[in-house]
Amino acid sequence: MEWFKAVYHLESTPADIEARARALAIEQSIEMPPSAVRQAEILQDILARVEEIEPAEPGYFRVVLQMAVATTAFDTSGLLNMLFGNCSLQEDVELIDMELPPNLLEAFSGPRYGIAGLRHLLNAYDRPLTCTALKPQGLSPEQLSDLAYTFALGGLDIVKDDHGITNQVYSPFHQRVPAIQKAIQRANLETGGHTLYAPMLAGSPRVLRENLRVARDEGIRVVLVAPMLIGLPVFEELMGGSGMAVLAHPAFAGNRIAPPLFFGKLFRLLGADAVIYPNHGGRFSYSRDTCMSLAQAARAPWGHVLPALPVPAGGMTVERVDEMVGFYGPDTMLLIGGNLLAAGDGVLERTRAFVRRVAASVV
């Protein structure tokens, strides 16, 4: 029998932690009293094992479980269920890491492009990448196209939809995406640049398939997806077969899975070429440590799984470029949205300033 590891933080008293860890192992594997199991081989091969318990912050323990690889069924929903199924409903549990043996890791393809592939698509090899978002929601395809044209003139690498822009009646996917793509191609012709447009894909599997076809017909190479909004197995299956580079957005992904694991490992494992996440010091509460661990997890060597590009975002400003590049290094994509738009008539100039600062940030 092969095993994989799941690492949890459990809130517990020292007196209770052994029983609590054991109860977690039961909950996440056989989900019944071991004394009522009549087959010795299930206790031997299926029941999860408590490998390690060690104190963490006061009142918390780090618990490593070993779980049977076969129980995952080697698919996305099975892996998620074994890692954080029932126990996601228990408020004293946080999932903080996992370790997968080669046969389980190989069940997942990971990013198709990875950092090197994205750089090749964008013809940008030796500097951090730049990205912005088309917003706000409510603009028409024409208004969004005008904005996209300006951003592309400014020389950004990727212009993505705001994640809330999907298929609304005021901007349906099949009208919006061709219009914006053409605006960006026009700017590229004028500047000689390589800006790519990443439209947001959302909806049910049927809608996703239709919209992927529209995007492919328009020559789109990169798409934006919120894996938790569409469902992680759908993300893995549909996006993996799309031929597109995939930026993963964290919307609806708040839970008790540590962000470095969820975005840096799981989203990457399921096919994200780049992972967007809330940077420290913006509108969200991630710490510097969390952000750094996330970026490291996304980029770390991991079997056949290509590295994914960390994309810190959320309330970022052009003024913070040097700090962010200093913190994350060049294999990063900086995403600045509202701060460019806040320049009003000066959007083009602020966009150029963003691009210049990023280019100048690496010696």
Q: Which is nearer to its own copies, 235 or 328 (CB)?
A: 235
User: In whole angstroms, what is the distance from residue 44 CA to residue 28 CA?
Assistant: 15
Q: Which is nearer to its own copies, 128 or 259 (CB)?
A: 259
User: In whole angstroms, what is the distance from residue 358 CA to residue 130 CA?
Assistant: 8
Q: Which is nearer to its own copies, 115 or 274 (CB)?
A: 274
Under DSSP, is residue 278 helix (H, G, I), strand (E, B) or coil? strand
Q: Which is nearer to its own copies, 157 or 162 (CB)?
A: 162
Which residues are paired to 223 by β-bridges? 246
Kind of pairing, strands 309-313 and 274-278? parallel
Phi, psi of 192 (to 5 degrees): 75, 15
Q: Tokens 């109860």 label which residue? A: 23
CB of 163 to its own copies, least distance (A): 7
CB of 354 to its own copies, least distance (A): 15
Structure tokens at 160: 């993505």
- Which are the contacts of 356, defined by CB distance < 8 A and separation ≥ 6? none
CB of 231 to its own copies, least distance (A): 1
The string over 58-85, giving b where at least 16 C-beta atoms fall within 10 Å of a residue's C-beta and e elsewhere, is eebbbbbbbbbbebbeeebebbbbbbbe
Q: Which is nearer to its own copies, 230 or 308 (CB)?
A: 230
CB of 262 to its own copies, least distance (A): 11
Which residues are paired to 159 by β-bridges? 132, 197
Q: Which is nearer to its own copies, 47 or 295 (CB)?
A: 47
CB of 195 to its own copies, least distance (A): 20
**In degrees to the nearest 10, what's the CA dihedral of 110, 115, 117, 120?**
170
User: In whole angstroms, what is the distance from residue 316 CA to residue 279 CA?
Assistant: 8
CB of 34 to its own copies, least distance (A): 9
Query: Chain-centre distance of CA 208, in angstroms?
Result: 18
CB of 81 to its own copies, least distance (A): 5
With contact defined as beta carbons under 8 Å apart, do 342 and 136 qualify? no
Q: Which is nearer to its own copies, 141 or 250 (CB)?
A: 250
- Which are the contacts of 89, defined by CB distance < 8 A and separation ≥ 6? none
N-to-C CA span, the chain: 51
Q: Which is nearer to its own copies, 71 or 181 (CB)?
A: 71
CB of 182 to its own copies, least distance (A): 22
